[in-house]
Amino acid sequence: MKLAHSLIAFALVVIASFAGGYVLHDRVGGGSAEAKTIARVSDLPSPAMTLPDFTGIVASQGPAVVNISVSGKAKDADTEFPGIFPESPLQDFFRRFRIPAPHGKIPIQGQGSGFIVSPDGAILTNAHVVADADEVLVRLTDKREFKAKVVGSDRLSDVALLRISAKDLPTVKIGDSSKVRVGEWVVAIGSPFGFENSVTAGIVSAKSRTLPAEGYVPFMQTDVAINPGNSGGPLFNTSGEVIGINSQIYSRSGGYQGLSFAIPIDVAMDIEHQLLTKGKVTHGRLGVMIQEVNQALADSFGLDAPKGALVSSVEPESPAARARIQSGDIIVKFNGRDIERSSDLPSLVASTAPGSKASLEVWRQGKLMELHVTVGEMKHLAVREKSDDEATLSSNKLGLAIRPLNADEKTDVEGGRGLMVEAVKDGPASRAGIHPGDVILAINGVAIGGVEQLRDQIERAGNNIALLVLRGEQKMFVAIKVG
């Protein structure tokens, strides 16, 4: 009987709730029928979180997202496929079925995404989107197309700055990636597989991820669907602010498998600022090799918990050596920032301006101590793109992109004079064996110290040119046949 009465009571509750929108609910401490009270369902607190609506973000910020198409030529060898990590077996699979082109070059065409950060046409994207591109075409959501100039790029952070000749363009709102919380909703807009202005959404899965061969960027991990063509596009928070640049996926198939990574917008805006104000990008350097501190190492060093970056070796004459950092030190703080994992340190150092002072807190022989270091500059990783007054030499002559030496590079060259080869296009210089990283010291016996001087000497030289170049520590003459 009790069971029957219970079932009848349950049925009445259900009927009442459907009929009038009411439910019965116990008062605290009340157990009798008289202690029951009636409340509307709409008056009860809702335990469920409503899903976000991204339509406003897409409407307001979408017009500032652009499609980027590139064309050019790339070397057949050593070309990696964006979105697939170098150690992936897919890299080898794709290489096996590539058709070599003449002179070891293959034509490339690619697509990516970007977003407008200033009304006069400044656009941020990934460096790998525009790498090796001879022509960059930007398409807006209103179908207008512009040829873009690569103002500069930084391969270390994978950020590039483009510019198009236009005015009064829509721009995105820039957010603060340091305030991003794991678990918050985010939305991406881009051109996966060329499908322009595609919108995907998900959550932030983790922060400060270190990826293979990408140890200088504290990536944000998300589960937003990102595919080839999304690279360089913006990642928005629910306030419609850009908090990252979609950069990579981790995949065994070549397509999205639930793991995507974005460059924090704070990192990207720092790169943009350096390119606009200094014309180049610099990264800080300590000169140490580090490793992770596990529980066993923490116990052996007398550390209360596995944290910090264990210094395994120190480069001679490096900033770290001059600051008396030793092998066996555990760096637990850098400029007041805790080092929870060894991967935290490289990104903090790289984002520090060379020449600035930094404080280190290290654990040495069971004691904490503070050291001070003058941060050095990372060489051969900060890449400056050519500006108007440091132009690419005309492609019908040599096919070289060159620039003056920076301060550190001048110390490595006798006399401090020469020009750095930034890139080599298919042409006379490429066929003669000139490589990026070569330093041009002289042409036909005339010492070279500036871009205009080299251009003038090439015009006077005729069809036979002898370049004296410095490659590593070796000087050599390279004969180039022009025409």
How many angstroms separate the CA atoms of 55 and 72, rounded? 37
How many angstroms separate the CA atoms of 152 and 158, rounded? 11
How many angstroms separate the CA atoms of 416 and 408, rounded? 10
Which of 340, 227, 247, 243 has its CA nearest to residue 292? Answer: 340
Instruction: State the catalytic residue, choosing from 153, 157, 158, 426.
Output: 158
Structure tokens belonging to residue 464: 């036979």
- Virtual torsion, Cα 94, 100, 104, 106, nearest 10 deg: -70
Which of 152, 53, 207, 173 has its CA nearest to residue 384? Answer: 152
How many angstroms separate the CA atoms of 467 and 421, rounded? 12
Fill in the amino acid letter for 173: K
Q: Spell 150-170 as b/e; 16+ CB within 10 A means b.
A: bbbbbebbbbbbbbbeeeebb
- Virtual torsion, Cα 55, 57, 59, 60, nearest 10 deg: 160
Q: Is 273 a catalytic residue?
A: no
Instruction: State the catalytic residue, choosing from 69, 128, 205, 430.
Output: 128
Instruction: State the catalytic residue, choosing from 157, 177, 205, 231.
Output: 231
Q: Is 25 a catalytic residue?
A: no
Q: Is 380 a catalytic residue?
A: no
Structure tokens belonging to residue 91: 């890299």
Pairing state of beta strands 173-174 and 241-249?
Answer: parallel
How many angstroms separate the CA atoms of 184 and 79, rounded? 36
* Catalytic sites, residue numbers: 128, 158, 231
